A and B are shown apart, each in its own frame.
Chain A
Amino acid sequence: MTRLEILKTYKLYIGGQFPRTESGRYYPLMDKKGSTIANICLSSRKDARNAVQAARKAFGSWSERTAFNRGQILYRMAEMLEGRREQFITELVAQGNSKTQANKEVDLSVDRMVYYAGWCDKYVQVLSSVNPVASSHFNFSVHEPMGVIGVLAPQDSSLIGLVSAILPAIAGGNTCLVLASEKLPLCAITLAEVLNSSDLPGGVVNILTGIQTELLETFATHMDVNAVWYAGKDKETIKLIREYASSNVKRVLVYDKNWMAADAQDLYLLSDLQEVKTTWHPIENIGGATSSY
């Protein structure tokens, strides 16, 4: 007897669960020959709202975790991704990559996770500063996560673009909702399965699939989103995001990079998603020229 192949339903990833889109809409993803690979959820505004809610709920405990623990979890993600490489390679090939390209992309994704895992308990030391001031104050600046980040992932990449977008956000203690590439969405949901089995608390990363022009407004106007992260160079889109984001003065971060390149990972991608808090602590200059002692 021949066996029927069991195909995966590609759903969304919100709050650590895999719901279907609330709207019930989907779009077929075609391969080069024009046959359907999978049906992909077409997320609605309400899905985005649910994702923001989940991200906000997760923010408190994720940002308060010890830096070391965050690093451990990110490293665990790399381990899980490594173990699933064949699946990602198959998906990348199905979306039009060559086997060699696919192999390279998965390698790089794992390495990038390890790279950011390493930064988790180091970036604060490197970025923070003790500042010289003219009064008797101990003045120091430390970096703190922004909050909930709305990520519009690169359209031209299925896996590495997504990894490059998510990792700097969560390494720094933010939570995020991510809209995957419209044309290359397969790896996004499989990546969600990796995240879900890596001790990453539900809600820290929420992944949606769908059409960018449809969800742009919700991402950028939602009052509970603190920053919008956009990878691309479409001038009209950037202008729209900036306009929408003015509602609650969100940070808008725009990147146009080759995400396969070695320099598409750095500390500044992480620090761009941090706010700087400066503290003025009064001190007595004991023994100094202005001291009363």
Chain B
Amino acid sequence: MNSKRPVFLPDFIMSPSVDKVGVEERVARFQTRSIKNESKRQGLRMALNMIDLTTLEGKDTPGKVRQMCYKAAHLHDQLPGLPTVAAVCVYPSMVRLAKSELKNSGIKVASVSTAFPSGQAPSEVKIMDTKFAVEEGADEIDMVISRGKFLAGEYSFVFDEIASIKEVCGKARLKVILETGELATLDNVRKASDLAIHAGADFIKTSTGKIQPAATMQVTYTMLMAIRDHFDKTGKMVGMKPAGGISTSKLALHNLVMVKEVLGEAWLTNEWFRFGASSLANDVLMQILKTETGVYQSPEYFSID
């Protein structure tokens, strides 16, 4: 085993248990905040700037990725002054292409890896997968944890795997996908969050987007609490990325309210908070245009990707 490993490690079995009823009540309260027009306007632009525009399908082609990269930089040219999205998220084989399409745009390229979405592959394969993505130029790596091992209680295995991927990442920031839809309980979500944070995650991310339920507010809240506890203890910030199922502006704004109230304003930038979504961007654009023009919009007037 690596001798450079941190000496102190908490016992993950001792992660605090989560009061599900309490979480639900707290989350419900975030959804009742009255957001006035001016704040809404800012919030929508902020949400837009936090989106990881994503395409992770077997049918992805270079053309599709090129198209999405264009969309990332030109969200809606009719309305000047819009921010761009934070990043595009693609499979490793598309990283080089995305990187060259996005050069000089300031938009990052994130790549999923470690046998996404199931994570059912030998560790060597996962490391090679990640190495490949990093060498192709990925700025961020979205890895999945081995949920099967986690549920079987093999926490050390999961921990070591995350740590070894982190090592391969180099300068690339590592997002660790817990796939909360498969973890069954909020207690497990909390445990997996603690584990990922200690193993070196720069971001923790809810889901792959392939499993339902995905980023429910309850799950996101639980993960935000893990980040806050870690910050309180160590002073180190960890980012958060809810992914999957956030397709409306309203839900995005609720999430921002939650981040602000749980973690504080420092997290309200795309360096520390992201939305993994493909259809959210257009809904936010429609809402922004609604606030600018006062007229309800139609999806027909917005590019699909």
Contacts and interface: CB of A to CB of B under 8 A. Distances in A.
Do A and B interact?
yes
Interface residues of A, number: 10
Contacts of A218: 296
Interface in A150-192: none
B301 interface: yes
A45 B300 CA distance: 21
Contacts of B294: 221
Contacts of B296: 45, 49, 52, 218, 221-224
B295 A247 contact: yes
A36 to B, nearest CB: 32
A268 B53 CA distance: 47
A247 B298 CA distance: 12
Interface of A is mostly: helix
A222 B295 contact: yes
Interface core residue of B295, B297, B300 (most chain A CB under 10 Å): B295
Interface string B276-305: 000000000000000000111111110000
B298 A224 contact: yes
A224 B298 CA distance: 4
A52 B296 CA distance: 10
Contacts of A223: 295-298, 300-301
A224 B295 contact: no
Contacts of A87: none
B300 A221 contact: no
Nearest to A218: B296
Nearest to A248: B298
A45 B301 CA distance: 21
A223 B290 CA distance: 10
A119 B297 CA distance: 33
A109 to B, nearest CB: 32
Contacts, number: 24
Contacts of A45: 296
A188 B301 CA distance: 33
Contacts of A221: 294-296
A239 B295 CA distance: 18
Nearest to A45: B296
A52 B295 CA distance: 13
A43 to B, nearest CB: 14
Nearest to A247: B295
B270 to A, nearest CB: 29
Interface core residue of A49, A222, A223 (most chain B CB under 10 Å): A223
A248 to B, nearest CB: 7
A45 B290 CA distance: 13
A52 B290 CA distance: 15
Contacts of A222: 295-296, 298
Interface in A178-224: 218, 221-224
Nearest to B299: A224
A52 B297 CA distance: 11
Contacts of B300: 223-224
A221 B289 CA distance: 13
A221 B298 CA distance: 11
A174 B295 CA distance: 22
A45 B295 CA distance: 10
Nearest to A52: B296
B50 to A, nearest CB: 25
B76 to A, nearest CB: 13
Contacts of A49: 296
A221 B301 CA distance: 14
A222 B290 CA distance: 10
A222 B301 CA distance: 12
Contacts of A247: 295
A220 B294 CA distance: 12
A199 to B, nearest CB: 28
Interface string A140-152: 0000000000000
A218 B295 CA distance: 8
Interface in A27-57: 45, 49, 52
Nearest to B301: A223
A288 B130 CA distance: 68
A49 B290 CA distance: 12
B211 to A, nearest CB: 25
Contacts of A224: 296-300
A285 to B, nearest CB: 40
Interface of A: 45, 49, 52, 218, 221-224, 247-248
22 contacts: A49-B296, A52-B296, A218-B296, A221-B294, A221-B295, A221-B296, A222-B295, A222-B298, A223-B295, A223-B296, A223-B297, A223-B298, A223-B300, A223-B301, A224-B296, A224-B297, A224-B298, A224-B299, A224-B300, A247-B295, A248-B298, A248-B301
| Nearest 6 A/B pairs, CB to CB | A224-B298, A223-B298, A222-B296, A221-B295, A223-B297, A49-B296
Given A52-B296, A223-B297, 7 more contacts: A45-B296, A221-B295, A223-B296, A223-B301, A224-B296, A247-B295, A248-B298
